[in-house]
Amino acid sequence: MRVDILSLFPEMFEGVLGSSILKKAADKHLFSYNIINFREFTKDKHNKVDDYPYGGGAGMVLKPQPIFDAIDSIEIKENVKPRIILLCPQGETLTQKKSEELAKEEHLIFICGHYEGYDERIRTELVTDEISIGDYVLTGGELGAMVIMDSVIRLLPGVLGNDHSATEDSFSTGLLEHPHYTRPAEYRGMKVPDVLVSGNHQHIEQWRRKESLKRTFLRRPDLLENYELSEEEKKWIEHWKDESSS
């Protein structure tokens, strides 16, 4: 996968892309990235990327020209149609499903906004996706681009290695993941559930499935609306409902 990022603050990406799994993935050429400071595409002597909003009002608006020209400068492989993603609190909220969809693409381009927002023509003419990372307002799109990149790149083949399967993570299965424990088997009087040290893999699997469902029922019941429950799972849920109402 190739990723281009349009940002006025390229240095913000150094820590995230230069550390841990994303750095290893880039070093192994599992993806490549290029950060474009779209201020370099301004045409006036003050290198202005923003201007006052027509009609008046507070805040400055990002001008279309530097962003359109920066996008035009990106080399695009034949037969590849990049996804051009505008970071925007008004966009669709990022989900694991969206990250899985983007992980199948060959080329992603992120546009990171600042100030009051963008000239509307950027939104209507240039982008294929508008994504928000949650119902709150940030000062700029960089953190959002990093969040999306992290969630997408960890899904690329070879990035997480064999000892971790992203398909078992929360949301990928439609549920939250079950609890985890590691050594020691007892810590400050708190014991690891017996089943996990029993060596019985069938029982462990069933315990994990049940805990995953219970955790989802208690913390994120909204996820169960789109989840097909087996008859056994329906009974468990009824039992937890009775438990919580008594």
Ligand X SMILES: C[S@@+](CC[C@H](N)C(=O)[O-])C[C@H]1O[C@@H](n2cnc3c(N)ncnc32)[C@H](O)[C@@H]1O
Q: Which residues contribute to the site for ligand X (CB under 6 A)?
A: 87-90, 112-114, 116-117, 132-134, 136-141, 144
| Residue 158 counted as an annotated binding residue | no
Active site residues: 89, 116, 154, 169
Alpha-carbon separation of residue 60 from 8, 19, 131, 141 (angstroms): 14, 33, 21, 15
The CB-of-149 to ligand X minimum distance in angstroms stands at 13
Cα–Cα distance for residue pair 202/225, rounded to 1 Å: 27
The CB-of-52 to ligand X minimum distance in angstroms stands at 14
Of 129, 228, 229, 211, which is closest to residue 170 (Cα–Cα)?
211
Closer Cβ to ligand X, 132 or 212, answer by number: 132
| Residue 135 counted as an annotated binding residue | yes
| Residue 133 counted as an annotated binding residue | yes
Alpha-carbon separation of residue 132 from 11, 71, 81, 128, 143 (angstroms): 22, 21, 22, 14, 11
Closer Cβ to ligand X, 138 or 195, answer by number: 138
Residue count (the chain):
246
| Residue 113 counted as an annotated binding residue | yes
Closer Cβ to ligand X, 114 or 214, answer by number: 114
Residues within the annotated binding site for S-adenosyl-L-methionine?
A: 113, 133-138
